[in-house]
Amino acid sequence: MRHITQSSKLAGVRYDVRGPILQEAERLERAGETILKLNIGNPAPFGFEAPPEIVEELRRALPEAQGYSDSRGVLPAREAVARHYTELGVGAASGGISPDDVYLGNGVSELISLVLQALVSPGDEILVPAPDYPLWTAQVTLTGGRAVHYPCDESNGWMPDLEAIEALITPRTTGIVLINPNNPTGTVYSAELVRGFAALAERHGLVLLADEIYDRILYDGVVHEHAALHVSETLCLTFSGLSKAQRVAGYRSGWLVVSGDRAIAHDFLEGLTLLANMRMCANVPAQYAIPVALGREAAAGGASIDALCAPGGRLLEQRNAAHRLLSEIPGVSCVLPGGAMYLFPRLDPAIYPIDDDQRFVIGLLRATRVLVTNGRGFNLPTPDHLRFVSLPEVPVLTEAIGRIAGYLETVRVG
């Protein structure tokens, strides 16, 4: 019999966040082990509940959400997203934002896939940060394009260098990805740097792909700058949604906002609309959560998520505790995240000589029952980083990092 094999399109595609490491964790669970899962930014298992108004609105909307919606999304939700970004000042220099500029999707992940399928031809290049959220690299590869990684400097708080990025641009470069706040590092880019990305995109006619799903999860008074505020002469595509700030990751409720010079992008937008039509529509009940979510945040001045990130709030206290505990381990350093819900510590190669970080993380899992993700799973070129979430409460983080510290003692050299 002929063997059934995977498509050749999957060659080079990886998504280690849910790859062999998770499979080993699932095997251990089937054997009766309890695993501390610190590998995915899923708020619900750690006691972060959705605001009750959002849950109630979803319940109320169910009877009228039984059929397909417009392929771009229900009008009240698109109106709410357009109003939200208009109030932020997005589109002021390019005709404003209307519901027609908004596409709703089953989370940001689906929208990234649709956009890259519509944008990237075989051989096209997309500039992607290293480290990145690996879906970006995987989806570029799946379309037949090439992800060209621009480095972010850990010694400078994981900030990218615009001159180094510009040197990577070729005639095949189509777009540049900006993940802000960054996953996996938690770095929040300054307004000046964001303006630099926008100017770079305009100077070279690139699409600016702004992944801003963590734009409300900020610490220590850090301010997030929306990339779309600074784009008028090329196209800016802003990705965000309810998963993180509203703690409803399972609703799969995300959006894409098109801004900048739409006149130069008619053909691309026609292709994007075609793909949106082909998937019929996003999950309809979850779309109805968007107006009430954005409305309640506007009315409360963002108080819901802001309180979690402020002094005394769970997210801030957990970030602080995790960073302190990691930094106390000999040979471990970690840039303090300004946003998001992750830490990306470095293991000094002179003390922890790791050549295969996936194998190392599987060994860590088997020894400690703590599940984290290896740094090269985020397209970092070196095997000396780990990423894990800071969502568990402080006692759980203390236990998990204590186990990691104990394991590191057994593999330390010198």
Q: Are strands 346-347 and 207-211 parallel, antiparallel or unpaired?
A: unpaired
Among 175, 286, 322, CA closest to 235: 175
Instruction: Give the right CATH number for 52-300 from 3.40.640.10, 3.30.9.90, 3.40.50.720, 3.90.1580.10.
Output: 3.40.640.10
pLDDT bin (cut points 50, 70, 90) of residue 18 is low
**Rounded average pLDDT over 209-230:** 96
**Rounded average pLDDT over 41-66:** 87
pLDDT bin (cut points 50, 70, 90) of residue 94 is low
User: Residue 157 forms beta bridges with which residues?
Assistant: none
Residue 81, CA distances (Å) to 34, 99, 113, 238, 288 in order: 41, 8, 20, 11, 12
**Rounded average pLDDT over 137-147:** 94
**Dihedral pair phi/psi, residue 207, rounded to 5°:** -75, 130
pLDDT bin (cut points 50, 70, 90) of residue 403 is very high
Class of domain 8-48+307-411: alpha beta
Q: Look-up: residue for tokens 């190392």?
A: 360
Contacts 24+ apart (CB under 8 A), 325-328: 325/397, 325/398, 325/401, 325/402, 325/405, 326/401, 328/405
Residue 2, CA distances (Å) to 5, 7, 8, 68, 305 in order: 9, 15, 16, 40, 54
- For residue 215, give the DSSP letter: T
The reported pTM is: 0.93
For the chain, the domains span 8-48+307-411, 52-300
Among 136, 197, 207, 120, CA closest to 166: 197
pLDDT bin (cut points 50, 70, 90) of residue 318 is very high
Nearest-10 crossing angle of helices 20-30, 357-368: 20
